[in-house]
Amino acid sequence: MLDQLLGLIQEHSQQAIVQNPEIPNSQNADVMHTLMGSITGGLQDQAQSGNIQGIMGLLSGKETGGGIMNNPIVASIAGNAVSAIMQKFGLSSSSAGGIVSSVLPGVLGGLINKTSNPSDGSLDFNSILGGLLGGGGATAASPAATASSGFDFNQIGYALADGKLDMNDVMSIGKSFMGGSSSTPATPNQPKEEGFDLGGMLGGLFGGK
């Protein structure tokens, strides 16, 4: 995950960071890594606090309809990034905010496009969610973390991106995965959602523990 994320940050940082007179060239890479740390740290905090449905909604592009910066997860990441850049590099809040608002939408938009596209093998839901839930969000993706759970986030994420699931389904799945109660528990006769076996997936989750 980190290599792809850093590449997206570099791609979208030329004007806001590299050509920014307030940032010495010697600090360009440090600012980019600070922004990357805010993104990975923010996503990892959300995952480990149980907000699976929020991350799935963001990465599938289903919770960005009002503008990506209005997504609550993105807003939290942006706030942390602005604070970190101000603290580390001595920039004003307006300067740090300008950098974040210029770079973050393109970076996360690229991350969403890669993750929600089954034809793009560089990133997927399993690698990102597995890494975040396994504690590896700031180091490397960990598909083994997902495999050990017996849970296929790709199946859910791609179905969500294609409109075969809605966020209520994903919320139930997220609660079940994190050990909480679900308002729509799986039953053996639960119908499929447009070819997507939600009941079977939830049943497999409960039976696999």
5/182 Cα distance (integer angstroms): 33
Quick one: 139 and 55 in the same domain? no
Instruction: Give me the pLDDT at residue 112, please.
Output: 94
Tokens matching residue 147 = 């495999």
Phi, psi of 23 (to 5 degrees): -115, 115
Instruction: Give me the pLDDT at residue 196, please.
Output: 38
Number of domains within the chain = 2
Quick one: 134 and 119 in the same domain? no
Quick one: 146 and 170 in the same domain? yes
201 contact partners, CB below 8 Å, separation of at least 6: 152, 155, 156, 173, 186
Sign of CA dihedral 49, 50, 54, 58: positive
Radius of gyration of the chain (CA): 18
Instruction: Give me the pLDDT at residue 144, please.
Output: 41
- pTM of the predicted model over 0.85: no
**pLDDT tens sequence across 139-176:** 333 444 444 455 688 888 888 887 776 777 666 665 55
**pLDDT tens sequence across 93-143:** 999 999 999 999 999 999 999 999 988 888 999 989 888 887 444 333 344
Quick one: 62 and 106 in the same domain? yes
**pLDDT tens sequence across 3-62:** 899 999 999 999 999 999 999 999 999 999 999 999 999 999 998 888 888 898 899 888
| Helix, strand, coil distribution of the chain in percent, nearest 5 | 65, 0, 35
Domain boundary among 74, 96, 124: 124
Structural domain that includes position 95: 2-124
Quick one: 22 and 112 in the same domain? yes
Q: Is 179 a residue whose pLDDT tops 90?
A: no
Domain boundary among 124, 154, 187: 124
Quick one: 142 and 120 in the same domain? no
Higher pLDDT, 62 or 186: 62
Higher pLDDT, 157 or 189: 157
In 3D space, the residue among 181, 185, 180 whose CA is nearest the CA of residue 198 turns out to be: 185
75 contact partners, CB below 8 Å, separation of at least 6: 69
Measured in Å, how far apart are the chain's first and last C-alpha atoms?
Answer: 27
Q: Is 202 a residue whose pLDDT tops 90?
A: no
Quick one: 29 and 50 in the same domain? yes
Instruction: Give me the pLDDT at residue 26, please.
Output: 97
Quick one: 136 and 101 in the same domain? no
Quick one: 145 and 106 in the same domain? no
> Over 141-185, what HEC string results?
CCHHHHHHHCCCHHHHHHHHHCCCCCHHHHHHHHHHHCCCCCCCC
Higher pLDDT, 66 or 90: 90
